[in-house]
Structure 1
Amino acid sequence: MNLKKMKTNFPILESERTILRQFVASDLQNVFQGLSHPEVIKYYGVSFKSLEETKEQMTWFSNLEKNENGIWWAVCSKTSRKFLGAAGLNDVSKEDKKAEIGFWLLPEYWGNGFITEIVPLLFNYAFNCIGLNRIEAFVETENTNCKKVLEKLNFNLESSLKDCEIKNDKLINLDIYSKLNTQ
């Protein structure tokens, strides 16, 4: 499947309680709220200080012609349609049949099992629609909540990289997790 073609036919994914849809302009405030919140960005690689800065992220989320190596969805409540967060795939490599997974939720929705409900939708899409074999997750070693979620989703811890990146002027460690298409 050509990621460029999805712009006009964006895949909508649904779980029992959520709908994953394409980002729209009215999501700007919610994305800013999430990606400027100290608890959300504590272990996340992207953050913004203004709505203007966030517009660039919105362009990236919604312009698959420029972003042909990834796809992201707005995660919303199926019943209320409220914006809950975002989830998607980065660094999609059809050649190597792999991608990196990413996700975040607004803090008021943490601890409700939404991530363990939506990530299998991403697996299904990656494995069955794109034809990938491997999903990777790079997680800061101190991010215990994310690591617990990945373990619930049967990701395998493959390795730990010590002092491998600088964040906020400090060296950090990353744990590498993977999920293989074993169907």
Structure 2
Amino acid sequence: MRVNLTELVEGQKKELDLEVEAKIENIGYFGDEIPLVAPVVFKGKIYNANGEIYIEGIVESTGEFSCYRCLEKFQKKIIGEIHEKLIYESSPQAEIEEYFIIKNNMINISEIMENVLISALPMKIVCDEQCRGLCLVCGENLNKHQCNCEKDEIDPRLAKLKDLLQ
């Protein structure tokens, strides 16, 4: 979805308030595809400050994840904030991938929304901070059942220290 910034660039307006909803199916995250089960919504503004164009706002959606610890599927709301400077295509900084580019007085807001959602995700996504994960011996989900496995394993690098205690 493209947003026309001509009025901002030419100085006719100082600010554009935006509320945009886009249907993005999936976002790529460390080689995985995360399905989005709700539309992506951007609420914010694009403004001109001394000839430079900035974007500010909040992006939110709901994704479907697999827990890093217990592998159960769950849905979680993703909320990300953006406070970025937009760079003109002709600018020398346009070659740096860290900036969003204004081409022909237009900006691709869908690309911005997707990048903000990805940056809002934690490295390890868990269903609950108290998630106990899977048993390392039998693979039982410890959130649902307690297993009776013997968990008396010692790190082989520290096994000699156990001999000192006896």
Shorter-normalised TM-score: what interval?
under 0.3
Normalized per residue, the structure richer in strand is: 2
TM-score by length of 2: 0.23
In the superposition, the TM-score normalised over structure 1's length comes to 0.22
Say which one has the larger Rg. Answer: 2
Q: Which has the higher helix share?
A: 1
